[in-house]
Amino acid sequence: MTTNVPVIDAHPTVPGLPKNYLNCSRGFMSWAGTLDHKRIGIMYLIGTLLTFLAGGVFALLVRLHLWEPHGMLFTNEKYNQIFTLHGAFMVFLFVIPAIPGALGNMVLPLMLGAKDVALPRLNLLSFYLWLSGAVLATLAIVLGGFDTGWTFYAPYSLYTNQAVVTIGLAIFLLGFSSIFTGLNFIVTTHKLRAAGLTWFRMPLFVWAIYATAILQVLATPVLGITVLLVAFERLYHIGIFDPRLGGDPVLFEHFFWFYSHPAVYIMVLPAFGIISETVSVHSRKPLFGYKLIAFSSLAIAIISFLVWGHHMFTSGQSTYAMFAFSFLTFFVAIPTAIKEFSWVATIWKGSIALNSPMLYTLAFLIIFAIGGLTGVILGALNVDLHLHDTYFVVAHFHYVMMGSIALAFFAGLHHWWPKMFGVIYDETLAKIACGIIFVGFNITFVPQFIMGSQGMPRRYATYVDEFHGYHQVSTIGAMILGSGVALMVYYLVASLLQRKPAMENQWGGVTLDWQTPTPPPLENFYAPPKVTHEVYDYSTLDLKTLQRPVS
């Protein structure tokens, strides 16, 4: 049973008075030099959305090229560069920084009832490190590109005659951007909680961002030293990863995946956090298993450090290590399943409002179930030997990266868009776009599961005729998916121009981020908030006005 949110009596925001964080100051420097977490969040949002669109264009080029078995657009070498660009842009410039950088910055201090993050200058530095990383990555394209895949595996990355050092430096900077963001959020969560906001009254988005931050701080430095070593290797040949000089490329893979498996959770945990919020607010129900979800985030963070070798089952790793890594991998499924079941149980018997954030959330729940379960399949040692480096893997991680994380990001974007800008987008177009994206996504990647299980290897510029049909369906799906995203960009930008005012509390949230004016003033709250309710307690919410009585 579904009911729509009653919005008739809700107060629209009054434009003009009093000033909010968007109109409190003007001019380029008021943004470029801002220490306000919300403005930094907006800058991250613009930046990461642009890199997402760039990465999306690279993806469409890849799919178009694969329309014909012998490739339509590029030489094989150029194709290698394009898919590398797609991977590197999406992973390092969009998926990792987008949710913490844009939505986390915007929402986390609001949810904690804080005036800002604990270290605002470091926050701005994080953004500029991200920006320098983005500029360097773009520069690397001009300097000859890079064709190593986003994984930069040695020894190929040591020998290829391309701009690997430049992109390595970019990744080093992006890594420290990510570290400083995580560090900042840990400190903020520990030290800047409002009065009465105990750990178990924190919204689950905060828990998720906190668990992510632990991973960012503890895993990313190893990526930093790894790309430095690759750079040294290329510059003065230290031999640590170079088999010509007695080095072992498998050590590179250990270092790389020590970071990059936890990095999968750096990407997906914030997405989980968003879903925990949207699923509760749009079902008007406290989260089922609040503590379980909170602790499962921490459990995932810790277990994710024990399983990285499942990416190396065909690399020459020892058989014993493979046993251990495969065995441990299955444990990740437990906390992840706890989350999925808790979300579904939250919806059950809820008063579901099918707003666009909820539609994106439901799409996430379906896609993530598939993305997660295919991951368990790949974690099984013997199955992975067959499926390794096939399109099955490609489809699996796109179900997680694009279908789950990007859709959760969209859910969060739609959920907090009215909060951020005080305007509301065209809800009908939003629902249509969500449908198009969901359909297009599945058309793109279901054929890839099938091709992969039949042996279509990933990263190839050409393929045998047997896969022609699958590739064409996949390409058509990608075009549908792309048009859905284009529609989304259109109505979001249009909402900023049309300026249709949003409600003070657009969806009827009860966490602190919805208890401040929309858009929030410069220091978030006019008076220091005191938390007296348990989290997700909708009992006192007036469904008509979506406001809590002032206590």
| Chain residues in the site for another protein (CB under 8 A) | 114-116, 118-120, 122, 179, 183-184, 186-188, 190-192, 195, 214, 217-222, 224-226, 229, 232, 235-240, 244-248, 250-251, 254-255, 258, 305-306, 308-309, 316-321, 324-325, 523, 527-528
Tell me the C-alpha distance between 410 and 492, whole Å.
11
Residue 261's binding partner out of another protein, Cu ion, none, with CB under 5 to 8 Å set by partner kind: Cu ion
Residue 324's binding partner out of another protein, Cu ion, none, with CB under 5 to 8 Å set by partner kind: another protein
Half-sphere exposure of 338 (CA within 13 A, CB side): 16
Nearest Cα to Cα of residue 288 among 331, 336, 341, 246: 341
Sequence-ordered list of residues with C-beta below 8 angstroms from that of 246, at least 6 positions apart, any chain: 239
Q: Side chain identity at 321, as an amino acid letter?
A: A
Q: How far is the CB of 246 from another protein (least distance, A)?
A: 3
Nearer to another protein, 216 or 361 (CB): 216
Nearer to another protein, 179 or 461 (CB): 179
Tokens of 486: 């284009």
Tell me the C-alpha distance between 94 and 267, whole Å.
10
Residue 318's binding partner out of another protein, Cu ion, none, with CB under 5 to 8 Å set by partner kind: another protein
- 261-290 residues in contact with Cu ion (CB under 5 A) are 261
Comparing every residue's Cβ against Cu ion, the nearest one is: 261
Alpha helices in 348-467 (DSSP H): 356-379, 381-387, 391-398, 407-421, 427-453
Q: How far is the CB of 409 from Cu ion (least distance, A)?
A: 20
- Please check whether residue 532 is in contact with residue 196, taking contact to mean a CB–CB distance below 8 angstroms: yes
Nearest Cα to Cα of residue 372 among 481, 268, 259: 268
Q: How far is the CB of 284 from another protein (least distance, A)?
A: 33
Residue 381's binding partner out of another protein, Cu ion, none, with CB under 5 to 8 Å set by partner kind: none
- 380-419 residues in contact with Cu ion (CB under 5 A) are none
Tokens of 32: 């470029």
Tokens of 255: 């270092």
Nearer to another protein, 184 or 444 (CB): 184
Check whether the bond before 18 is cis (ω within 30° of 0). yes
How many residues sit in the footprint of Cu ion (CB under 5 A)?
1
Sequence-ordered list of residues with C-beta below 8 angstroms from that of 268, at least 6 positions apart, any chain: 400, 404, 405
Q: How far is the CB of 405 from another protein (least distance, A)?
A: 24
Q: How far is the CB of 366 from another protein (least distance, A)?
A: 34
Q: How far is the CB of 191 from another protein (least distance, A)?
A: 4
Residue 125's binding partner out of Cu ion, another protein, none, with CB under 5 to 8 Å set by partner kind: none
Nearer to Cu ion, 228 or 328 (CB): 328
Sign of the Cα pseudo-torsion (362, 365, 371, 373, in order)? negative
Tokens of 418: 């009215």
Residue 229's binding partner out of Cu ion, another protein, none, with CB under 5 to 8 Å set by partner kind: another protein
Q: Which part of the chain contacts Cu ion (CB under 5 A), choosing from 55-63, 173-181, 210-218, 255-263? A: 255-263
Tokens of 398: 């796109």
Nearer to Cu ion, 340 or 384 (CB): 384
| Residues that bind Cu ion in the complex, under the rule CB under 5 A | 261
